[in-house]
Amino acid sequence: MAFTPLFVESDMFGDVDDIGALALALELQARGRCRLLGIGINTPSVWGPRAAAVVIREFGADVPVGVLPGRATDDVFSPDYARLIGSQHTATDPFVEAPGLLADVLRTADVPVTVVSIGFFPNLLALLDLPGGVELVRAKVGRCLVMGGRFPEGDEFNISSFPAETAEFLARWPTAIDFVGFEAGADLLTGKHFSEQLGADDPVRVAYEAYAGVDAGRSSWDPLTVYLAAHADSELVSWSDPGELVMHGETGRWRADPAGRHRYAIVVAPAAEVEGILDELIVGHASRVVDLTP
Ligand SMILES: [Ca+2]
């Protein structure tokens, strides 16, 4: 089975499902299903990239983390998980900037790369602004998935927080896009059994408990999106007919169009089945935790 090369753009800092998505991507990599070539963080707090680096280290993986260029804050979200686990980050090497990291990944890729956006779009727009950036994306991105929107119509955090930026991304991104909307992931809860499945110090469990409460679970927008990126033929979902997501102020509206290059996921499997598949991947690392004791 061929692995899928992935690059993930995440707003790790706010909602905890980005942690679940990263854990799931790393587990798929450990199983040979994908190769995580990098993760870009598109929120300015220093705690987002540090949290990502701590999770990657917990898995014994080596995945470069890129940051939002030009801005760095020490903001803490409430409820916080990013500083809670990110404060365990001890490396002193500076992070690279995410747009350049993704450009390097694309330039050196010898197979088409799947770009997965589970946050905002500033790093992807900055990539397009690089010299030759649009041509690079057109030549090297095989597939693009975006967690964003609400179908057929509505506001949603990733697209509505910075609507002008979203509209610019939709207008300029040169490849087809598969969307995973709010309605697809909202009722799928992952993390309902982490207190049994993960150790007390496991950063994935620590993050979910801090954000959502012990075994409360959290919606699975981002883990589902990464899963579908690595399983292009998954039968857990069907895909809409082609069309286009169009921004009207802060609201996204679906417009059917046989020539459109967008489509959105419709979950067709029972929720319990999808939750079980995602959870099993998110906690998979617990059975092969690397001993990092010096
Ligand atoms: Ca996210």
Residue of 98, 193, 148 whose CA lies nearest to 204: 193
Per-residue confidence at 291, pLDDT binned at 50, 70, 90?
A: low
**Separation CA 16–CA 277 (nearest Å):** 18
In the chain, the percentage of residues whose pLDDT exceeds 90 is 95
Q: Give the pLDDT of residue 188.
A: 98
* Ligand 1 center from residue 71 Cα (angstroms): 19
**Separation CA 102–CA 188 (nearest Å):** 30
* Ligand 1 center from residue 52 Cα (angstroms): 12
Residue of 59, 60, 56 whose CA lies nearest to 10: 56
Q: Give the pLDDT of residue 287.
A: 85
Specify the length of the chain in residues. Answer: 294
Q: 203-256: per-residue pLDDT in tens?
A: 999 999 999 999 999 999 999 999 999 999 999 999 999 999 999 999 999 999
**Separation CA 171–CA 187 (nearest Å):** 30
Residue of 160, 202, 165, 198 whose CA lies nearest to 181: 160
Q: Each residue of 133-154: b (16+ CB within 10 Å) or e?
A: beebbeebbebbbbbbbbbbeb
* Ligand 1 center from residue 293 Cα (angstroms): 31
The secondary structure of residue 3, as a DSSP letter, is P
* Ligand 1 center from residue 43 Cα (angstroms): 10
Q: Which residues surround ligand 1, an ion (CB under 5 A)?
A: 11, 18, 118-119, 222
* Ligand 1 center from residue 3 Cα (angstroms): 23
The answer to whether 89 and 50 have CB atoms below 8 angstroms apart is yes
* Ligand 1 center from residue 256 Cα (angstroms): 26
Burial of 121 (0-12, 13-18, 19+ CB in 10 A): buried
Its pTM stands at: 0.97
CA distances (Å), origin 187, targets 158, 159, 182, 191, 219: 17, 19, 9, 13, 6
Beta bridge partners of 145: 116, 178
**Separation CA 285–CA 263 (nearest Å):** 32
pLDDT at 20 over 60: yes
* Ligand 1 center from residue 179 Cα (angstroms): 13
**Separation CA 182–CA 281 (nearest Å):** 21
Q: Helices 221-230 and 271-282 meet at what angle, rounded to 10? A: 80
* Ligand 1 center from residue 50 Cα (angstroms): 16
Q: What is the mean pLDDT of residues 135-147?
A: 98
pLDDT at 272 over 70: yes
Q: Give the pLDDT of residue 237.
A: 98
The amino acid occupying position 69 is P
* Ligand 1 center from residue 216 Cα (angstroms): 18
Strands 65-67 and 96-97: parallel
* Ligand 1 center from residue 96 Cα (angstroms): 20
**R_g of the chain, CA atoms, integer Å:** 18
Q: What is the mean pLDDT of residues 166-173?
A: 98
**Separation CA 108–CA 122 (nearest Å):** 22
* Ligand 1 center from residue 156 Cα (angstroms): 11
Using left for φ > 0, alpha for ψ between -120 and 50, and beta otherwise, residue 55 falls in alpha
* Ligand 1 center from residue 259 Cα (angstroms): 29
Q: Give the pLDDT of residue 289.
A: 56
Q: 182-217: per-residue pLDDT in tens?
A: 999 999 999 999 999 999 999 999 999 999 999 999
Q: Give the pLDDT of residue 1.
A: 55
* Ligand 1 center from residue 18 Cα (angstroms): 5
